[in-house]
Structures are given as structure tokens and as C-alpha cells.
Amino acid sequence: MRSDLIAEIDLARLAHNLSVLRRGVRPGMPICAALKADAYGHGAAIVAPALHALGVEMAATATPGEAVELRAVGWSRPILVFGNVVAVSDAAERRARIEAAIDHRLTLTLVDDLRLDELAAAAAARRTTIDVHLKIDTGLGRQGAMPPDVPGLLDRLAAQSSVRLAGVYTHFGSADLTDRDFAARQLAAFTGLLEQCAPRLAPGVLRHAANTAATLEWPDAHLDLVRPGIGFYGYPPSDAFGRRHDLRPALRLVSHLSHVKLLPPGHCVGYGQTFTTRRPTRLGIIPAGYADGLLRALSNRGVVGCRGGDAPIIGRISMDQLAVDLTDLPHVSTGDPVVLIDERPERPNSVESLARLLGTIPYEIVCLLGERIDRVGVQRFDA
């Protein structure tokens, strides 16, 4: 059975966005696609094969489970896991994660040497080598080794024959802002540390820092590899970028009207009595709610695209249903399609418009799209 909610993912737009990102870097530079959080809500099973076919050189996930899922849908190239996989205290769980990393040829992120011996022993027992990237905190204040600890960590890594340092990276906290001074200080700290540690770095170790913002507009930050995320899906990394890079949103969320009926004046709609009809009202029900990522904060604020116009959301959005006012759309009826999230940036129910309305960012809007939504690859938005 098909879901009542369909996220249409335009494969041609994914290809277009990749071409925009590639134009921002020098020819031949490898790209690592951030495919975490189910490809930012777009469906890794749809996005990963498409980008693999387009030649993207590497993928990245937040967890080993996400990386294993990429292998299951055919991603054969390197996968970098951003999370600190070996940080769990349960020894059996830690062993299972290390074994999965070896089995599926995953590249792990290291931020310290607390489990390095265990990782090396597991790889040695399997007569193999496991690749790691060392992450350095240059000012963001999240996961990462502090710069003074890096030389010692590199020495510890060099002493392990079954663990290979394949990369060193950092992450910017504000490369998407108009004022890039802080990001520039981060880059200077990173490159300065790499120069200091150059004798400890074997040839071929990848240095990387660039997210979508830096990939598009900051060549000095490209180094050996770029790892854009949100740009693949067609959204600028912040409002400061506007739409000057011709990124094209690749997602449209559609459903249908599951019920249409007439309510008299003075009739409540939804939980909490937040909306009461003031006129005879044609009420439409859509089988989508906050469990699907249609946030409750859109209650009495959002709109839904219908045949012939937009219908305002009325009453509180519930877990599985939301209500719209169809009074001014008399030709719309039960079963008719609706667009919950529009791919056109200028529309009031686009990802960017919803983010502005809710005081958040496009990342959050798409990452919250729920598991009940079927993701389907299409090639038709611009047809």
C-alpha cells in the first residue's frame, strides 16, 4: 500500500545542485556528500544511489547504522562516520560497532585515543586495517580534539599498524554568515596546526573543512576535499546567501484530502478550541500531522496548496491530521491532491518560507519529516 504522504525527490534537481557545487571547486576535487539524517529527510535510499551514479566520491553519516544503510542501497565508495562511534561504555555494544565498521569498510572519526588500542586490536585480529579521520575543534566547541592534544594523538596513531590515518578535519561554526571573521580564525588555526604537524602526516592524508557555504564561496577553505550537505538538497546554508547560486529545492511533499464537510458558524476545529468558525465553512481534513514533521507550531498559521489556490490551516495540527479551510475553494473535494511543502522557494509553504515563519532553518524542516512518508524519486518538477 502507498502512504498517504509522498515526498517527491527530483533526481534531476539533485544532479543540478551537484553541478552547482562542483563549479565552486577546482576540477577533480573530491566531494563528500553529507547523507546523515536519512539524507536530510529526503531519503537516503533515493539520494545515495543517485549521487553515487553521478560520481560523488565519498559519503558521510552521523552514525554507523546510517552508514550500513548506505552500503545496503549500493554505496560502494568511502563513508565517513562523523559521530564518535567507540565512545559507548558498554563493551559488547562497542565491539559490535567496531565489527560493523570493519565489515562495511567504514571510516571512523576519532577525537581522542581512549579506545584506539581496542580499535587497533580488533582490526589486527581481522588482519585488516581500519581508516580513521581525526577531527579537531578549532573553535566551534563541539566534538573534536583540542589543538594542543593533536601532536600526541598523531604520534599514537602512527604507532598503530592496523589503524590508518586517512584524514584530518574541522567544522566551521559560521562560514554561512556575512561576517566570516570567526570562520577565518578557525581556518587559520586549522591550517597552522597542520603545518606544525606536517612531519607527522603521511602523504595522502585528506585535509578538509568546507561545508556548503565554504564550498560555494570560499576557495581558501577547500583544501583537499569539500563536504557539502544542505546544498545538495537545494537550500542555501543561510538567508545571507539568498538564491544567488541557483540551488533548486529537490523535495515536494504531497498528500490528499481525506474528508470534506460543511461546518456551521460557531463550530470548533481541533483540540483546545483554538479556532471557531465565523461563517458556514467547508472543512478539509488531510492525513498528516506533527508525527510526520508538520509542526504543531504551524497551527492557524500555515497554508496548504490546493487546486485553484491556497487553503489556510485552521485549528491545531494533531499527531495524524490537520484541518484546512476550503470555503473559498468550492471546486475542491475529497480525494483531491494537496501540496504540503512546495518546491518553489517563493511559495508560502516552501521549506524556506516555513523556516522563516517558525524562526528556524531549512535543515530542521526537512530533517523532521517522518518515517510514515514514502520517498519517491521523480524527474518532473521542471518538466
DSSP 330-378: TT--TT-EEEEEBSSTTSTTBHHHHHHHHTS-HHHHHHT--TTSEEEEE
- Confidence (pTM): 0.95
At residue 300, the 3 state secondary structure works out as coil
Residue spans of the domains in the chain: they are: 31-235, 251-378
Q: Could you confirm whether 271 is annotated as catalytic?
A: yes
Q: In the predicted model, what is the mean pLDDT of the chain?
A: 96
Q: Could you confirm whether 235 is annotated as catalytic?
A: no
Encode pLDDT of 233-276 as tens digits.
Answer: 999 998 888 888 999 999 999 999 999 999 999 999 999 999 99
Q: Is the pLDDT of residue 310 over 90?
A: yes
Encode pLDDT of 332-370 as tens digits.
Answer: 999 999 999 999 999 999 999 999 999 999 999 999 999
Catalytic site residue from 40, 169, 233, 271: 271
Q: Rounded distance, CA 67 to CA 59, Å?
A: 9
pLDDT for the residue numbered 383 = 60
Distances (CA, A) of 138 to 107, 111, 145, 188: 21, 12, 9, 9
CATH superfamily of 31-235: Alanine racemase (3.20.20.10)
Q: Select 251-378's CATH number: 3.60.21.10, 2.40.37.10, 2.40.160.20, 1.10.10.10.
A: 2.40.37.10
Catalytic site residue from 36, 169, 233, 235: 36
Encode pLDDT of 190-229 as tens digits.
Answer: 999 999 999 999 999 999 999 999 999 999 999 999 999 9
Distances (CA, A) of 242 to 123, 224, 238, 258, 350: 47, 27, 7, 37, 14
Encode pLDDT of 103-159 as tens digits.
Answer: 999 999 999 999 999 999 999 999 999 999 999 999 999 999 999 999 999 999 999
140, 122, 147: which is closest to 132 by C-alpha?
A: 122
